[in-house]
């Protein structure tokens, strides 16, 4: 360990030279909540009594020991993660993480099945976000909200309706907005002849879910697109154009676009989409992940794209309007560590972006000084943001540098390695 306070002073001197207010950057970073996905801890399995295998074109790989097998274990693991993630946090759970003694199907879920989650979040002063689980279910094999079979489609519409009511319950219990993400795996392995009917059915399904729950308050609804899923390579009903079109045509104050960093063609990046989405919408739900060759859901890295996304949010003035949520699952390494690494990278990328001389960069651009724009943005790639990050973590008691790793390894020795 080194003297983080002394280092912070030096960093402040550096940033002052460019007119960057370090305290203000740290404050915004601290107050910006990141919604922590629960599904990293148990490989997206959930707690349904009749749990089906993970399906819908997503896949967890790896078999590192110590997976959380019960809600209690999952919550204990998340409590361990929270220690090393500085600043405001929310918890993001899926409908498949319900708790009940008997089997409850997706079209039967009630707020009471999520009471333990709500109690736990309230105790910690945290908000809760939610996701309908339109996958890993026998009735999801031939589409969900776009299914041609009316009975199947009704089943999933009912699921969506119930999820919005649970969102309403979470908002009431926590006093914080509940952000719901709707992602459907619907698609085809081969090229369909009729590409529009499934989309018209999906549009109708969303319309009916929202119409039936008009009274729900303090819930935001992200509609998440995807380029393709495994086994569904040729056609995706909820493509980017479909989701973008749906969201923008609704002109609603709660239906927003979700942009998952892993859901686009390999040369497309979410950082380039934010400005376009914000030209038409007041909010965006961001799923931070890391794709390698496909939507592989690797642990979020402190990489160029994650940094570019955060820089874009700062430059657009949209940090507060963007719901930032992590979404990845890696079962090949210590799962608690996977959580901590990805969450710290997400927050660190945000802080690094807030520490850029944004006003100065904008000014040089306005004045047409593109040389300075390039020179400055390159210089700032190696600016001493890590000194500010360390001092922030120290102050938040979230562990400086890799100090958290010893604690997580200790937790592994004492807790997760003892799981069968």
Of the residues 129, 186, 224, 311, only one is catalytic, namely 224
Q: Does 330 bind Zn ion (CB under 5 A)?
A: no
Of the residues 39, 183, 339, 389, only one is catalytic, namely 183
For ligand RNT, the binding residues in 206-225 under the rule CB under 6 A are: 224
Q: Does 168 bind Zn ion (CB under 5 A)?
A: no
Listed residue (1, 10, 20, 26) closest to 389, CA to CA: 26
Tell me the sheet residues that pair with 181.
222
Q: Does 58 bind ligand RNT (CB under 6 A)?
A: yes
Minimum Å gap between C-beta 263 and ligand RNT is: 6
Of the residues 168, 297, 311, 394, only one is catalytic, namely 297
For tokens 């309007």, what's the residue?
321
As a whole number of angstroms, the distance between CA 316 and CA 171 comes to: 28
Residue 26 or 58 with smaller CB distance to ligand RNT: 58
Residue 224 or 312 with smaller CB distance to ligand RNT: 224
For ligand RNT, the binding residues in 169-208 under the rule CB under 6 A are: 181, 183
Q: Does 300 bind ligand RNT (CB under 6 A)?
A: no
Minimum Å gap between C-beta 280 and Zn ion is: 21
Q: Half-sphere exposure of 122 toward its Cβ, with a 13 Å CA cutoff?
A: 13
- Annotation marks residue 224 as catalytic: yes
234 neighbors 188 (Cβ within 8 angstroms): yes
Tell me the sheet residues that pair with 229.
232
Candidates 106, 176, 287, 344; binder of Zn ion (CB under 5 A) is 287
As a whole number of angstroms, the distance between CA 251 and CA 282 comes to: 10
Q: Does 39 bind ligand RNT (CB under 6 A)?
A: yes
Contacts of 123 (CB under 8 A, 6+ apart): none
List, in sequence order, every beta strand (DSSP E) within 271-319: 284-288, 290-292, 294-298
Of the residues 42, 327, 330, 390, only one is catalytic, namely 327
Residue 133 or 345 with smaller CB distance to ligand RNT: 133
As a whole number of angstroms, the distance between CA 34 and CA 46 comes to: 21
- Annotation marks residue 183 as catalytic: yes
Binding-residue pattern over the window 260 to 299 for ligand RNT, x denoting contact by CB under 6 A: x--------------------------x-------x----
Q: Does 89 bind Zn ion (CB under 5 A)?
A: no
Residue 226 or 335 with smaller CB distance to ligand RNT: 226
Residue 303 DSSP one-character state = -
Residue 12 or 90 with smaller CB distance to ligand RNT: 90
Label each residue of 318-374 as H, E or C.
CCCCEEEEECCCCCCCCHHHHHHHHHHHHHHHHHHHHCCCHHHHHHHHHCCCHHHHH
Candidates 129, 158, 311, 327; binder of Zn ion (CB under 5 A) is 327
- Annotation marks residue 303 as catalytic: no
For strand 290-292 and strand 294-298, is the pairing parallel, antiparallel, or unpaired?
A: antiparallel
- Annotation marks residue 327 as catalytic: yes
As a whole number of angstroms, the distance between CA 85 and CA 222 comes to: 24
Residue 184 or 205 with smaller CB distance to ligand RNT: 184
Binding-residue pattern over the window 88 to 127 for ligand RNT, x denoting contact by CB under 6 A: ----------------------------------------
Ranges of H-type helices in 17-139: 22-31, 71-82, 115-123
Q: Does 164 bind ligand RNT (CB under 6 A)?
A: no
Contacts of 265 (CB under 8 A, 6+ apart): 227
Q: Does 228 bind ligand RNT (CB under 6 A)?
A: no
As a whole number of angstroms, the distance between CA 310 and CA 314 comes to: 6
- Annotation marks residue 30 as catalytic: no
Listed residue (363, 357, 373, 354) closest to 313, CA to CA: 354
Minimum Å gap between C-beta 332 and ligand RNT is: 17
Contacts of 138 (CB under 8 A, 6+ apart): 52
Binding site for Zn ion (CB under 5 A): 260, 287, 327
Active site residues: 183, 224, 226, 260, 263, 287, 295, 297, 327
Binding site for ligand RNT (CB under 6 A): 39, 44, 58, 131, 181, 183, 224, 226, 260, 287, 295, 327
């Amino acid at each position: 360990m080194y003297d983080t306070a002394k280092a912070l002073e030096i960093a402040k001197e550096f940033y002052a030279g460019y007119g960057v207010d370090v305290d203000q950057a740290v404050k915004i970073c601290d107050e910006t909540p990141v919604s922590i996905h629960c599904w990293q801890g148990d490989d997206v399995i959930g707690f349904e009594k009749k749990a089906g295998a993970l399906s819908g074109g997503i896949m967890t790989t790896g078999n590192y020991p110590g997976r959380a097998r019960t809600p209690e274990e999952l919550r204990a693991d998340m409590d361990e993660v929270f220690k090393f993630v500085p600043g405001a946090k929310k918890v993001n759970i899926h409908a498949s993480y319900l708790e009940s003694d008997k089997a409850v199907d997706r079209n039967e879920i009630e707020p009471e099945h999520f009471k333990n989650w709500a109690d736990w979040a309230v105790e910690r002063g945290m908000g809760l976000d939610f996701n309908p689980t339109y996958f890993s279910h026998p009735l999801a094999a031939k589409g969900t909200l776009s299914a041609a079979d009316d009975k199947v489609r009704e089943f999933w519409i009912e699921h969506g309706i119930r999820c919005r009511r649970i969102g309403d319950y979470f908002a009431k219990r926590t006093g914080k907005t509940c952000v719901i993400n709707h992602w459907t795996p619907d698609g085809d392995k081969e090229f369909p002849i009729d590409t529009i009917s499934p989309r018209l059915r999906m549009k109708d399904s969303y319309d009916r879910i929202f119409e039936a729950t008009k009274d729900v308050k303090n819930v935001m609804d992200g509609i998440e697109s995807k380029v393709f899923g495994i086994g569904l390579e040729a056609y995706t009903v909820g493509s980017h154009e479909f989701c973008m079109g749906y969201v923008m045509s609704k002109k609603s104050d709660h239906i927003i676009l979700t942009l998952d960093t892993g859901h686009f063609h390999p040369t497309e990046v979410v950082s380039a989409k934010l400005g376009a989405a914000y030209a038409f919408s007041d909010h965006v739900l961001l799923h931070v992940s890391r794709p390698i060759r496909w939507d592989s859901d690797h642990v979020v890295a402190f990489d160029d794209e994650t940094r570019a996304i955060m820089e874009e949010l700062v430059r657009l003035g949209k940090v507060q309007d963007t719901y930032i949520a992590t979404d990845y699952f890696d079962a090949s390494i210590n799962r608690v560590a996977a959580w901590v690494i990805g969450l710290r990278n997400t927050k660190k990328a945000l802080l690094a972006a807030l520490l850029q001389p944004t006003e100065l960069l904008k000014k040089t651009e306005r004045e047409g000084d593109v040389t300075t724009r390039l020179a400055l943005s390159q210089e700032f790639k190696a600016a001493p943001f890590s000194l500010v990050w360390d001092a922030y973590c120290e102050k938040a008691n979230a562990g400086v540098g890799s100090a958290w790793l010893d604690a997580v390894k200790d937790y592994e020795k004492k807790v997760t390695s003892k799981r069968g």
